[in-house]
Amino acid sequence: MEAIASVVIISLVLIAAVTITINMRNQTIATEKRFEAVEVGTRIRTNISSNADYDLVKAWLDQTPGQEVSFDINSCNDALFNCDIIFGVIVNETLYDQEVTIVFPQTDDSVEFKIIHYQIMIVYYNTRDVLIEGMIYDTYQ
């Protein structure tokens, strides 16, 4: 009877140890993927802010005033954005294209300060996501 009890106790301890190890490994992978997603988002934000034309994007957004506008790789418009530099970012040999969505929440200060806000949402490691914000502004040329 004591042998059976000790086997049960050892089994419970081993199951707990394996469960903790698996959870720690998953958390480590998720953290690494989050760092990758932040790097991807930062690159995309730089590419958009550097290459997007304020007047073109504003005219595009004015077609749906007051509404949130979003696009992804399937609905990217090459006339407005160079889709290759937005959805062609590779980090650690992983192409981030299907995971990326760009959202333009239209705000009140956009018109007053001639700034277009946008958010880059990147889904990483199952359903976790990271949100990077950026802006396109009029250069007053």
What's 79's DSSP letter? T
**Average pLDDT of the residues in 101-107:** 89
Task: Map residue 74 onto helix, strand or coil.
Answer: coil
H/E stretch holding 124 reads strand 115-124
CB-based contacts of 134, cutoff 8 Å, min separation 6: 45, 48, 49, 117, 118, 119, 120
Q: Which two tokens stand for residue 28?
A: 């480590």
In terms of C-beta density within 10 A (0-12 exposed, 13-18 middle, 19 or more buried), how is residue 92 classed? exposed
Rounded distance between C-alpha atoms, residue 45 and residue 38, angstroms? 10
Given this model, what pLDDT does residue 6 score? 95
Q: pLDDT tens digits, residue range 10-60?
A: 999 999 999 999 999 999 999 999 999 999 999 999 999 888 888 999 899
pTM score of the predicted model: 0.82
Q: How many CB atoms lie within 10 A of CB 53?
A: 14
Q: pLDDT tens digits, residue range 116-139?
A: 999 999 999 988 999 999 999 887
